[in-house]
Amino acid sequence: MTTSAPIRFRVFSLNCWGIRYLSKNCKERFVRIGDLLNQEQLDIALLQEVWCEKDFLFLKKKLSSIYPYSHYFKSGFIGSGLAVFSRHQIHDAFLYRYSLNGYPYMAQHGDWFGGKAVGKVLLNINGLKIHVFVTHLHAEYCREKDSYLPHRVVQAWELQQFIRHTSAAADVVILGGDLNMHPDDLGTRLLRNYTGLQDGFNEAVNFDGCEEGHTHISENPFTNTDNLVPFGGGIRIDYILFKGSGEVDVSCESLSTTKGPLPGHPFPYSDHEALTAEFLFTLTTKGNGCSERQSGCGSGICASMLGS
């Protein structure tokens, strides 16, 4: 580790809803997503549902002057949909495909064919080892009769194991993506408690965005509003989570979301709202990371959560 001055690091996450020929205004929206990323000049962008590699290659070309490094994670029949664009060199990349991911006979849902997974890239910024993860868990579809709940819980369990076992040497850990889980769902609590990851929405010093940080809102014209009525018109299922270490303190200085339709434009970026977080990395002898013991990652935590 060679840095001493604090480092600002901006992260973007968006489920792009990029199903060619099925998603509305797909081609036009990828143009606008590329424009937004170039305008924002972030450190890293974590995208989900970039199902077509042609759309990834389009973005790679469009973003190359500001984000010269990128990676597309391939998995399943139609890919994982996960893509990363970075201003900083990607030193390594790895994908883990979840062992349980829907049913092949539920073709109308398509999750099984996509090969849901978690992707990881390694960055080194001024001597700091930054481990960045992007993921997209199985969709819920119907909360009252959720036949996929066990699948998401297993995926959350495998996700936390993958993060814990591959980031022991990290100075900073960041996870972004569409978890398809509410903040208090079992899978979300498993993930946070076992990894020690903190929720950017809860920890942000400043927030600008949808009420309660919602990322799936009734004001979005691409959204099926009937599913959101029981929740007051919005839910939070997309996240940027983070953790420091014993040597690096990480604070979330700000978090923002897009807010559905944009003035002067006929459609939003996606059926989900985008998240942008700004972090401050500060070298310290007592960082805000956690060991398994400090984060409550022992065997007893699972029983307590299941009983809550």
Pairwise CA distance, residues 170 & 160, whole Å? 15
Pairwise CA distance, residues 106 & 276, whole Å? 33
Record the tokens describing residue 207, joined without a space. Answer: 């927030």
Q: Does the annotation mark 165 as catalytic?
A: no
C-alpha of 6 from chain center: 24
Record the tokens describing residue 171, joined without a space. Answer: 């100075």
Record the tokens describing residue 2, joined without a space. Answer: 């060679």
Q: Where on the phi/psi map is residue 2: left (φ > 0), alpha (ψ -120 to 50), or beta?
A: alpha
Pairwise CA distance, residues 278 & 88, whole Å? 16
Write down the catalytic residue from 71, 151, 214, 272. Answer: 272
C-alpha of 237 from chain center: 10
Q: In sequence order, what are the beta bridge partners of 44?
A: 11, 86
Q: Where on the phi/psi map is residue 49: left (φ > 0), alpha (ψ -120 to 50), or beta?
A: left
Structural element, H or E, at residue 94: strand 90-97
Count the alpha carbons within 13 Å of 292 in the hemisphere toward its beta carbon: 12
Cβ atoms < 10 Å from Cβ of 160: 21
Please give the positions annotated as active site. 272
